[in-house]
């Protein structure tokens, strides 16, 4: 998964800025709006009698709006009662060409989500985009200012074609809105249009495929063909054809009661600024995004009995899902039933096979009434869990989990690489269906967690002691992290000879805790504020227990909240991981190319093995200049940000010199390298090692160390880090040793990093500008270290070294001189 969130994070980003309306703003209409909803038969040449617009040739479909197809024109007959009513307009791809958007855009991908109202202005009907980012009770004077300073855009304007015979509805022609290139609902945004040099929509090859009206939603399918100079699939016709699905859904008249967010519990959220607040500012309120679950029997629920919800969460499988995977997918979805039991619900989430045509002739994965696990024929290796929610309350309306066909190959590869040393069943390219199914089940469960509202929790694997991962009973009971929402996929710590080990992740106690926080029904509370005391009590009961700690994915400085790591000691965990990886590297040809009689899998897995090595090393790097973040309220005492202890940072540097910066010769295996490429061996190692060295010698890390020492002189300092790095990277200068080509390359990386520290500045695209580099200690410290190194190199030239090392030292002296005294 990307991280995502990335991508996770990608998978949720379309509504991340959606916001909530206050409970006092419940689809009320102002006096001016009330006038506009009436339908007086004013004389107008454009407004015709109903029978002249909706003729006896009309094909009619009744639902939210009555839809008429007359010839080639589509008309909406909109009840006046639905004017000024909140609706969601959701645009998504139904079909698209291969590689559109670079692999992470697929059938089912949402491109736009907007809250709208249909409003009347004179003899026109407008689609107005509604915002709830700023709200105020309409009974207060400030409501006028909020409306005036948050004027909402008009997406489209329709001439009134006719009124219904009883004057209860207005008829508009929607053919142009759905049949032309309206940017607000287009699948091709400005970035894609620019990338593919889109010229225009070809009207002769574009049309409305179908419009269907249901009781609470309308679904429109558009077939659009664009003229494009550089389409993603270049067949010479300069064409991009897509099929779009436009869903319009009626939002609940009364929004769901929202639940306040507490940053100590991870959750996807939405926010609003409430100008009705008595605070001396606009009051920002943040709410959870969650499904609406209400017990069927509230009295039984109060007694502590498990009760079914009035409306359970239902996921359908995509009709395209291979039959052999369906049982695993359904099991993955319904794994969350146990977590919902912690919130007092039984059968709260249900998985179903796709209905047949006979069972539901209208079923479509794009229909917003259905939540679907989409199975995408794509070479992309990922899965995502986006959702659509009511921007007024956070109520999740629908979600689609996206499963890309090739994703299991990534899991097979990592299973072999990370567990193969201790797990005989992973030492094959033909992983058993049972084990693949278990992996798939857990990936689906992870993505379902996102669609329930849960983000990644990167602290969950830090809750368990490293040695516990070698205990079979512990791993079967607890898995490898306290939640399935961590990026902790496999047990890479268990060693050969450890028995009865569970290697694959599973749900954990944090999942029960978070679901209870977000979904337990609190009947005695009739507002979000009334729930706050109860929610706070739940959180503070678990405070201090690492099992229930939430760690942000966005943290790049906290070693207790890292992606892809497991265990509470990175040096120890990564040592176990590298020990296993050496065994795997030695056996990689016999497990791959010797079995297949080709080198394709060997090349792929060797490349991924290097990435695994990089992850294990990176987990240790984070300790240097690291800061542990423990979110808490002032009443809990203590501080939120605590620098990693000096002894721990010193241990991390020593570990890195031994395991990362001393050349890992076991990765330079002739039996692999000379069968997968003819060159590039030394530079690949330089890139691997150099990435971590550059990360250590960064402005951000040095700046944190300067801050920490300013608060307490006992903390690890920036000077100590620079000295420790130089001493280790250039250890040959004191020992009088010749320098290998791999070490020479790494030492040049060091010089380039020091040059950057002397000449560049913080990258505004990567971090906030929290200190002025040129006026800090950075340049002085770097200058001093380079002068020390220059003297060491000059001394080294007097020793009996080989020619390559002498030339290397001479080059290093010249480079340092140019850094210190640019010519």
**Beta carbons within 10 angstroms of residue 529's beta carbon:** 10
> What tens digit of pLDDT does each residue of 405-419 get?
778 888 899 999 999
- The whole-angstrom separation of Cα 616 and Cα 584 is 15
- 41's CB contacts (< 8 A; 6+ apart) are 163, 167
Q: What is the pLDDT of residue 34?
A: 40
Q: What is the pLDDT of residue 12?
A: 37
Q: What is the pLDDT of residue 72?
A: 94
Asked whether the CA dihedral 92, 95, 100, 105 is positive or negative, the reply is positive
SS3 per-residue string spanning 235-278: CCCCEEEEEEEEEEEECCCCCCCCCECCCCCCCCEEEEEECCCC
178 φ, ψ (degrees, to nearest 5): -95, -15
> What tens digit of pLDDT does each residue of 495-545 get?
999 999 999 999 999 999 999 999 999 999 999 999 999 999 999 999 999
Residue spans per domain, the chain: 32-254, 600-820
Angle at 456 between CA 631 and CA 96, to 5 degrees: 145
192 φ, ψ (degrees, to nearest 5): -65, -40
Q: What residue ranges in 263-384 does DSSP mark as E strands?
A: 269-274, 283-288, 313-317, 349-352, 371-376, 383-384
Per the CB < 8 A criterion, the answer to whether 149 and 191 are in contact is no
Long-range contact list for 759-767, CB < 8 A, 24+ apart? 759/819, 760/699, 761/699, 762/699, 762/700, 762/703, 763/699, 766/700, 767/699, 767/700
SS3 per-residue string spanning 526-546: CCHHHHHHHHHHHHHHCCCCH
Output the six-digit token pair for 558.
């906290």
Task: For the chain, list residues with pLDDT below 70.
Answer: 1-45, 103, 133-151, 275-282, 766-769
Q: What residue ranges in 164-264 does DSSP mark as E strands?
A: 169-173, 198-201, 207-213, 217-228, 239-250
- The whole-angstrom separation of Cα 367 and Cα 451 is 17
Angle at 482 between CA 481 and CA 484, to 5 degrees: 70
Per the CB < 8 A criterion, the answer to whether 248 and 64 are in contact is yes
Q: Strand 110-121 relative to strand 124-130: parallel, antiparallel, unpaired?
A: antiparallel
Q: What is the pLDDT of residue 468?
A: 98
Output the six-digit token pair for 670.
């002739």
- The whole-angstrom separation of Cα 174 and Cα 248 is 13
């Amino acid at each position: 998964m990307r991280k995502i969130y990335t991508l996770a994070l990608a998978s949720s980003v379309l509504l991340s800025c959606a916001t909530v309306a206050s409970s006092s703003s419940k689809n009320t209409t102002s006096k001016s709006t009330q006038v506009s909803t009436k339908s007086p038969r004013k004389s107008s040449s454009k407004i015709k009698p109903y029978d002249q617009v909706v003729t006896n040739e009309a094909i009619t479909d009744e639902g939210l709006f009555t839809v008429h197809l007359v010839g080639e024109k589509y008309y909406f007959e909109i009840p006046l009662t639905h004017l000024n009513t909140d609706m969601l307009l959701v645009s998504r791809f139904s079909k698209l060409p291969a590689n559109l958007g670079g692999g992470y855009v697929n059938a089912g991908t949402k491109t736009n989500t907007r809250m709208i109202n249909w409003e009347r202005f004179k003899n026109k009907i407008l689609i107005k985009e509604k915002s709830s980012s700023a709200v105020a009770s309409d009974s207060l004077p400030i409501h006028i200012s909020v409306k005036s300073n948050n004027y909402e855009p008009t997406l489209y304007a329709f001439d009134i074609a006719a009124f219904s015979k009883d004057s209860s509805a207005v008829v508009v022609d929607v053919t142009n809105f759905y049949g032309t290139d309206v940017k607000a609902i287009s699948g091709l945004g400005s970035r894609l249009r620019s990338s593919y040099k889109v010229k225009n929509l070809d009207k002769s090859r574009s049309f409305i495929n179908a419009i269907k009206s249901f009781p609470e939603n309308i679904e429109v399918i558009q077939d659009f063909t664009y003229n494009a100079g550089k389409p993603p699939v270049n067949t010479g016709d300069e064409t991009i054809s897509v099929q779009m699905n436009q869903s319009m859904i009626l939002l609940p008249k009364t929004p769901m009661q929202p639940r306040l967010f507490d940053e100590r519990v991870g959750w996807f959220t939405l926010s609003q600024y409430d100008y009705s607040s008595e605070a001396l500012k606009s009051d920002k309120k943040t709410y959870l995004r969650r499904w609406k679950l209400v017990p069927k029997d509230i009295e039984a629920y109060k007694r502590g009995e498990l009760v079914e919800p009035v409306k359970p969460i239902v996921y359908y499988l995509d009709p395209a899902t291979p039959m052999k995977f369906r049982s695993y997918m359904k099991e993955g979805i319904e794994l969350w039933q146990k977590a919902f039991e912690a919130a007092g619900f039984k059968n709260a989430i249900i998985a179903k096979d796709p209905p047949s045509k006979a069972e539901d002739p209208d079923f479509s994965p794009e229909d917003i009434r259905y939540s679907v696990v989409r199975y995408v024929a794509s070479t992309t290796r990922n899965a995502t869990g986006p959702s659509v929610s009511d921007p007024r309350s956070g109520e999740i309306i629908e979600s689609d989990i996206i499963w890309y066909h090739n994703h299991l190959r990534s899991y097979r590869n990592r299973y072999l690489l990370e567990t193969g040393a201790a797990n005989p069943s992973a030492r094959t390219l033909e992983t058993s269906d049972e084990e693949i199914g278990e992996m798939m089940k857990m990936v689906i469960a992870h993505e379902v967690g996102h669609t329930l509202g849960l983000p990644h929790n990167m602290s969950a694997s830090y809750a368990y002691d490293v040695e516990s991962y070698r205990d079979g009973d512990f791993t079967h009971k607890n898995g490898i992290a306290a939640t399935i929402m961590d990026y902790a996929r496999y047990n890479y710590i268990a060693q050969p000879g450890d028995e009865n080990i569970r290697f694959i992740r599973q749900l954990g106690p944090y999942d029960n805790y978070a679901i209870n926080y977000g979904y337990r029904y609190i009947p005695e509370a009739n507002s979000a504020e009334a729930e706050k005391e109860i929610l706070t009590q739940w959180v503070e009961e678990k405070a201090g227990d690492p099992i229930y700690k939430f760690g942000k994915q966005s943290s790049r400085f906290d070693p207790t909240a890292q992606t892809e790591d497991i265990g509470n000691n990175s040096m120890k965990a990564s040592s176990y991981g590298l020990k296993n990886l050496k065994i795997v590297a030695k056996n990689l040809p016999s497990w791959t190319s010797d079995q297949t009689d080709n080198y394709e899998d060997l090349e792929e897995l060797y490349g991924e093995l290097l990435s695994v090595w990089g992850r294990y090393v990176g987990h240790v790097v984070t300790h240097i200049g690291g800061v542990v973040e423990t979110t808490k309220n002032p009443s809990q005492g203590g501080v939120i940000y605590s620098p990693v202890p000096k002894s721990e940072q010193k241990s991390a540097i020593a570990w890195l010199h031994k395991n990362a910066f001393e050349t890992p010769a076991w990765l330079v295996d002739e039996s692999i390298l000379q069968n997968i490429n003819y060159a590039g061996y030394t530079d690949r190692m330089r890139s691997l090692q150099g990435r971590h060295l550059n990360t250590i010698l960064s402005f951000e890390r040095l700046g944190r160390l300067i801050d920490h020492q300013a608060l307490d002189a006992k903390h690890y300092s920036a000077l100590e880090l620079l000295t420790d790095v130089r001493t280790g990277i250039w250890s040959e200068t004191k020992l009088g040793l010749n320098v290998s080509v791999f070490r020479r390359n790494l030492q040049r990386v060091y010089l380039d990093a020091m040059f950057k520290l002397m000449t560049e500045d913080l990258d505004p695209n990567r971090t906030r500008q929290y200190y002025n580099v040129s006026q800090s200690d950075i340049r002085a410290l770097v200058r001093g270290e380079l002068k020390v190194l220059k003297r060491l190199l000059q001394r080294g030239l007097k020793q009996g070294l080989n020619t390559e090392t002498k030339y290397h030292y001479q080059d290093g002296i010249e480079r340092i001189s140019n850094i210190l005294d640019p010519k």
